[in-house]
Structure 1
């Protein structure tokens, strides 16, 4: 288990906006509708109310300041190895004990390579936020996947779609390797992608159609820290506030990506009619 003591760096973010906009605190108060008294309290490291966060970060985002994305670039330059986690309600500590089992690779702490990846999984939740972590893979057992059949079988197994093939030697080998790993590194699969995978498992499409459809996602890779030992290789960096306009922009992008996957699936069905089906692969 590791402790997560990150808070929003609102004081530093306000200073950045003031400097960038070349405005004083009174002007900033007028533009954000946040009282001068509240801004003075923040400058003394007093934690503000939730509505104050929203006013300040919405103002920044609507004025083209992509603070969170820029911070991503800066911390990657500083630390090199950085990952991001989207949390629905916030984090105080991380442990594998009690983690959900029906995720892509079973129990574990899931992180992505970029801020936008993490944001995409929690942008629908009002109280959600994103965290950044430094990491190392030293002295850990790593299982890596690409966007291939093995990856698809693994996700379908852990999401409960392969019960009819649970004793198959191909499935057993993949699951055993995952369960022996401290960290799994694999392409990210969201619910829209799992919908395509489920069609493959149900025998509606062949493997080639599924994989060519899934290759349209381009969500990057996820890092799943599956053991308490692996958690010790994570160090929290910062917590990021997600304003309402940023959430809305993220939802629009996800909607556009959903249409892209649907189009790729329709085209793949036309191009790859001769591929193998699930019962032929796991016979």
Structure 2
């Protein structure tokens, strides 16, 4: 188990806003609707009430301060090896058994290589937040996937859509390799992408159509820490508050991205009509 003892750096972020906007606490109070007493108290003790955080970070975001995104750049410059995790309700501790069985690669702690990735998975939830972690792969066994057939089959297996093909020898070989490592590194597959994969496992589209459609995702890589040994190679850095304006912008981005995947699926169906179907691949 990994304890996650980090929170919003609201005290430092308020200081940044005051300096950048050339404001004092009285003026910031007037602009945000936060009482001076509350602002003064933050200087003495870290305040994390959602109502206060929302006013502070919404004010910053609406004034074009992309604090969270810029922090990503800075911590990567400082630590180099940094990953992000989106949490719907907040984290106090992490275990490898905390995820659902039907996640992309089974049980494990899932992280992405960018802040925006992590945000995209939790932007629909009001109380969600993103966490950053330092990591290393010292003494860990790693399995890497590309956006290819092996990757797609593995995800369909863990998400439970392979049906009668689940015990196929090719599938078993892939799964055994996954379960024998500490960390899996693979392209991210969200629910929109899995809709395309499901059409492949149901025999509606061939593998070429599916993979060319999925290549439109551009979501980057996910890192799944699957063992307790792997968790020991993670160090929490910071928790990031997701204001309503930032989450709304993310939802707009995801909506636009879904149109791109839909369009590429339709074009791929026209272009790649001779690819192999699941029955032909998993005989």
TM value normalised by structure 2: 0.99
Matched residue, 2:163: 163
8 Å CA contact retained: 1:29, 1:39: yes
Q: Which runs of 5+ in 2 are unaligned?
A: none
Cα distance, 1:99 vs. partner?
Answer: 3.4
1:68 to 1:98, Cα distance in 2 relative to 1, 3 A: closer
Q: Matches of residues 92-171 of structure 1 in structure 2 within 5 Å?
A: 92-171=92-171
Deviation per CA, 1:121-156, whole angstroms, max 9, x where unpaired?
000001110000000011000000000000000000
8 Å CA contact retained: 1:83, 1:112: yes
- What SS class does the counterpart of residue 266 from structure 1 fall into? helix
Matched residue, 2:222: 222
Q: Which runs of 5+ in 1 are unaligned?
A: none
Cα distance, 1:101 vs. partner?
Answer: 1.2
RMSD: 0.7
Matched residue, 2:20: 20
Cα distance, 1:195 vs. partner?
Answer: 0.2
- What SS class does the counterpart of residue 143 from structure 1 fall into? strand
Matched residue, 1:196: 196
Cα distance, 1:7 vs. partner?
Answer: 0.8
Matched residue, 2:282: 282
Q: Distance in 1 between matches of 2:146 and 2:122?
A: 24
Matched residue, 1:247: 247
8 Å CA contact retained: 1:33, 1:55: yes
Q: Does 1:42 align with 2:56?
A: no
Matched residue, 2:53: 53
Q: Matches of residues 171-210 of structure 1 in structure 2 within 5 Å?
A: 171-210=171-210
Cα distance, 1:240 vs. partner?
Answer: 0.2
- Pairs aligned (count): 283
8 Å CA contact retained: 2:84, 2:118: yes
8 Å CA contact retained: 1:147, 1:211: yes
Cα distance, 1:100 vs. partner?
Answer: 1.7
Q: Distance in 2 between matches of 1:16 and 1:5?
A: 23
TM value normalised by structure 1: 0.99
Q: Distance in 2 between matches of 1:49 and 1:57?
A: 12
Q: Distance in 2 between matches of 1:89 and 1:114?
A: 20
Matched residue, 2:238: 238
Q: Distance in 2 between matches of 1:179 and 1:29?
A: 53
8 Å CA contact retained: 1:42, 1:48: no
Matched residue, 1:270: 270
Cα distance, 1:223 vs. partner?
Answer: 0.1
Deviation per CA, 1:145-175, whole angstroms, max 9, x where unpaired?
0000000000000000112112211100000
Q: Distance in 1 between matches of 2:165 and 2:152?
A: 14
Question: Deviating runs (4+, > 6 A) in structure 1?
Answer: none
8 Å CA contact retained: 1:38, 1:48: no
